[in-house]
Amino acid sequence: MPELPEVEVSRMGITPHLVGETIQSLTFRTPKLRWDIPQQLKQLEHQVIRRISRRAKYLIIETDVGSAIVHLGMSGSLRILDADLTAGKHDHVDIKLTNGKILRYNDPRRFGAWLWCAPGENHAVLNNIGPEPLTDEFNAEYMFARAQGKRVTVKQFIMDNKIVVGVGNIYACESLFSAGINPTRAAGQISLVEWLRLVDEIKRVLAKAIQQGGTTLKDFAQADGKPGYFAQELLVYGRAGKPCTICGELIEEQKIGQRNTFFCSQCQR
């Protein structure tokens, strides 16, 4: 599943091609992805795209009359293409621009979403979610306060969108390793000093992943078709049974909250 860095890279990739351009038409080749595709999205036709923003893993295509909220799901991707390029089997949505280009949404598993949001409103999917991880609002003091008395593992805690958005499985594993914190520990047992270290590592890992173009996974590539490169630098994720790059002990794998978790029991306490 594309995580926050991949979604942010997609936003950065499509923004120069869309902002300031006029939408000529929208084409939906399926009535439903994860949810029904709302027909209100047709109101975006003949509108100028003012901004492409992101909240959590949702991309927001903003116009004066409303916005399209896009989630890539598990296998979705966005491409800027020539409008005359024939659609493939899994090309479900096209936004055709008056300049002869299209924004094409491809999603083999159809777990993504296209939603409608009227001006001045906030869609339900964006309610009750935590701060963005790369903002000042996300800090050690905030996490320490929210974690008090929590028995849930620290890994599940930092992956909870109600606490902080966008810290997916890969980056949770990597950040906890870099911070030297065992993912199985209870969130309420993490000290303020440890939260200072962990928050800094979450910010560093996510920022570096964005800078390098996202993580290359099976279903992700940038808007221009180029893959991300951060996967080359993963220190624990997907490395079960391989030696730790710091101490040489074998990386362990364990299910936490139904997610595969990778860590070094020697380096992470």
List active site positions.
2-3, 57, 259
Q: Which residue positions form the known binding site?
A: 90, 109, 150
Q: How far apart are CA 161 and CA 113, in angstroms?
A: 18
Q: Which of 217, 219, 222 is nearest to 238 (CA)?
A: 217
